[in-house]
A and B are shown apart, each in its own frame.
Chain A
Amino acid sequence: MIQTKSKSLGKFSGLLRSRESSLLLVMILLVLVIQWRSGGAFLTKTVITQLTQNYAYTMVLSFGMLLVLLIGGIDISIGATLALSGMSTSLLMADGIITNPLLAFLFSIVVGSICGSVIGVTISKGKVIPIIATLGLQYIFRGLTYLVSGTKWVPSDKMLAGYKSFAQGSFLGLNNLFWIVIIMFVAMFVFLKWTNFGRQIYEVGSNPEAAKISGIRIDRVKIAVYTINGAIAGLAGAMYTSMYATAQGNMANGAEMDVIAACVIGGVSLDGGQGSAFGVLLGATTIAIISKSLSLVGIDAFWQQALKGGIIAVAVLINVIVQRNAARRALEGREI
């Protein structure tokens, strides 16, 4: 059937069948419905700007989670890592020890990396399964956040002016925080596609046995991936505290769930070895659109959670069906 169609149409339908394009369609459909239901309030410069700024840290976290899911792991401690790194950075700013915004971001990344490497070592050397290891460490990191802060908040007047204004500023019409997302996306795209280490990550996730035999040191890959993920959570901690100009012990509680959902919507397999930076970007954007628009559309607060879950489930379902069809057709194509 396909062969009877013209070549360009064949290319087009091939594009349609790729996972990312199906998600793109779902996203466009979602945006159209929201635009209609909100009376045209959604697709405006203001709302889009707010969305890219308010959800930048969730998007950045999604790229870290992508790596973890690719090696067949999971990290549910990123919300706590974000809180610990954001809080310790803010506390050092409040005490006048960190006096440079850039240094604050770097310090937060370092704290996050340490958290991430602890997770990585626990999982690879300690042979603890990822969900349990990160469940435990999540409580430890969250507890440490309360301990270092004495359960108090760091208020905005204790933060550096440059730190706070960074999150509100923009460059070439795009918010600074969203630039971090863009840079992170490009870096992740290049890293996964064109570097040796990026390919090793896929190998470890899709076939650990083969990866081991081919000489990949799986433990080192795992530690590296969790450390990178921690570093990204640390970066998100700085983004969060600069954006909201406050550091609270319970900040980003439960953020990991939105992030995992973003990855799954984006076509990342929880079994490892499958997923792309572009898919995750789309998935994270979809989550951001859903979260931002539910109240804009005027849905009752009691229904928002359920509806959000429903949309995620449907998006994943459509995604899986399209993917399955694509895989089947690819096989058919091979037979011919």
Chain B
Amino acid sequence: MKKLIAMLLAVLMIVGLAACGNGGGSSDKPVYAIICKDASNPYMSRMVQGFKEACDAIGVTALEKSPETTSAEDQIAIINDLVAQGVKGIAIAANDAAALEATIKAATDKGIAVVTLDSDTAGSQMFVNQAGVKEVAQVLVDSVMDMTGGEGEFAVLSASSTATNQNAWIEAMKAIIKDDAKYANLKWVETVYGDDESQKSTDEMQNLMTKYPNLEVVCCPTTVGVLAAAQVVANNPDCGIKIAGLGLPSEMKDYVGDDKACPYMYLWNPIDVGNCGAYMIKAILDGKVGDVGTSFTADNNTTYEITAGDPAEKQIIVGPPFKFTGENINEWAGVY
């Protein structure tokens, strides 16, 4: 197995080298490069797939260069190589939030567009954010709306009561429900916290069922919670509760489907993230990206709003999360 991986890596490197040669040699096509966290991550390889598709559509050459392990040092070396080769843009899933800053600055000083995907780092011109708070909250509320049939009791099973992203989503869900009269018949009975721990999440889920006999949906914006909740429902098939939320397809494979505990769930789609990254490089190079607070339409005909990034200068949101259903769950379970 190790030998196989080594061979694959070698082949990949040769292909990579060949691609470099192309990029450097024929100056007619500009090169956009993507740097993953590491070479063996299936989630990352789907991101590369999306990046390459977008590059083909834009009409540039895509080049993938990834370190073997998730090391920031290796990524620095790769960026330096790419700068020397004269690529036009770099999309990177950073392995460190700070260490890459000087290297990236050196690249952007040469006019190379650098965006961050998946994981942000200082120095990046734009963070392509896969998880917009509003977008996530919206699909969660709509799942609850759909699964309850428009009215009924639902609860939220979150991670810990101090988790920043969880609380941001929950607040946004509250705002969405309050602002739109069509959600008026949804009754949010309680928000409980499973601390991203199987035992506690299971307890909380079971206690919700005990406390609220009319409960119809439990919404879990956390991968550990959604799994525990779905397992509890699967072990109590007569309870009639549906689970909505954010989950990892590989973990949730047994529970997602029309007749199962979780009819469908969401998570970001790496293909979309990679795809968007390439278009953002193009937009930066074309000078379309303005100041924070403004918006622009990229070549994929999508309008993006620029918000202040942290630590990147600017950030945009890829779009709504991806829906995993009974039909596509098996395919995605092999990816991540």
Contacts and interface: CB of A to CB of B under 8 A. Distances in A.
Interface of A: 41, 44, 46-47, 50, 54-55, 58, 152-153, 155-157, 168, 240, 243-246, 248, 251-253, 291-292, 295-296, 298, 301-302
A292 B203 contact: yes
Nearest to A254: B197
Contact of A295 (B207, B227, B235, B253): B207
Contacts of A168: 235
A46 B210 contact: yes
A155 B253 contact: yes
Given A47-B206, A156-B254, 5 more contacts: A47-B210, A50-B206, A244-B198, A292-B207, A298-B211
Contacts of B198: 240, 243-244, 246, 248, 251
Nearest to A44: B210
A296 B207 contact: yes
B303 interface: no
B333 interface: yes
B248 A157 contact: no
Interface in B167-220: 192-193, 197-200, 202-204, 206-207, 210-211
A133 B254 CA distance: 40
B258 interface: no
B203 A54 contact: yes
A55 B199 CA distance: 8
A122 to B, nearest CB: 28
A54 B205 CA distance: 12
| Binding site secondary structure of chain A | helix
A298 B211 CA distance: 9
A296 B204 CA distance: 8
B331 interface: no
B254 A41 contact: no
Contact of A156 (B202, B206, B231): B231
10 contacts: A41-B210, A47-B206, A54-B206, A58-B199, A153-B250, A155-B254, A156-B253, A157-B253, A248-B198, A295-B203
Residue from the set A46, A54, A55, A155 with the largest chain B CB neighbour count within 10 Å: A155
A244 B205 CA distance: 13
Contacts of A248: 198, 224
B206 A301 contact: no
Interface of B: 161, 192-193, 197-200, 202-204, 206-207, 210-211, 224, 227-228, 231, 235, 248, 250-255, 333
Contact of A244 (B204, B228, B248): B228
A244 B308 CA distance: 41
B82 to A, nearest CB: 27
A-B pairs, top 6 by smallest CB distance, nearest first, are A244-B198, A301-B161, A301-B193, A155-B251, A296-B207, A156-B254
B207 to A, nearest CB: 5
Contacts of A292: 203, 207
Contacts of B197: 251, 253
A244 B203 CA distance: 12
Contacts of B210: 41, 44, 46-47, 296
A223 B207 CA distance: 41
Contact of B203 (A152, A155, A251, A291): A291
A41 B212 CA distance: 11
Nearest to B196: A250
Contacts of A55: 199
Contacts of B204: 295
Contacts of B248: 153
Contact of B161 (A152, A296, A302): A302
A41 B213 CA distance: 11
Nearest to A292: B203
Contact of A246 (B161, B206, B227): B227
Residue from the set B202, B203, B204, B227 with the largest chain A CB neighbour count within 10 Å: B203
A133 B193 CA distance: 33
A155 B250 contact: yes
Contacts of A301: 161, 192-193
A174 to B, nearest CB: 16
A276 to B, nearest CB: 26
A58 B198 CA distance: 13
Contacts of A44: 210
A157 B211 contact: no
A113 to B, nearest CB: 24
Given A157-B333, A302-B161, A41 B211 contact: yes
Given A41-B211, A298-B211, A302-B161, A244 B202 contact: yes
